[in-house]
Amino acid sequence: MIQDIEPRIFDNNFKDKVAEPQDLFLSYEGDTVLIREDKDKLWYPSFSDFQVEYPGLIDNAQFLFSIDNINYYLVNEKGLDSINGWSYASINRFRTEPKYWRSFVGVVGWQLNRWYDSHRFCSKCSKSMKHSKKQRMLYCESCGFKVYPTISPCVIVAVYNGNRLLLTKYAGRAYNNYALIAGFAEIGESLEQTVYREVKEEVGLKVKNLKFYKSQPWPFSDTLLVGFFAELDGDDEITIDEDELSLGVWVDREDIPSPNLNISLTSEMMEAFRTESVEL
pLDDT of residue 74: 98
Q: How many CB atoms lie within 10 A of CB 133?
A: 9
pLDDT score of 172: 79
DSSP state of 266: H
Percent residues over pLDDT 70 in the chain: 100
Percent of the chain with pLDDT over 90: 91
Backbone angles phi, psi at 176, to 5 degrees: -120, 10
Q: Which of 60, 57, 41 lies closest to 49, judged by CA?
A: 57
Q: Is 216 exposed, middle or buried (0-12, 13-18, 19+ CB in 10 A)?
A: buried
Ordered by start, the domain boundaries in the chain are 10-118, 120-149, 152-274
User: Domain 152-274 adopts which CATH fold?
Assistant: Nucleoside Triphosphate Pyrophosphohydrolase (3.90.79)
pLDDT tens per residue, range 132-184: 999 999 999 999 999 999 999 999 999 999 999 999 999 877 777 899 999 99
Tell me: the pLDDT tens digits for 33-67?
999 998 889 999 999 999 999 999 999 899 999 99
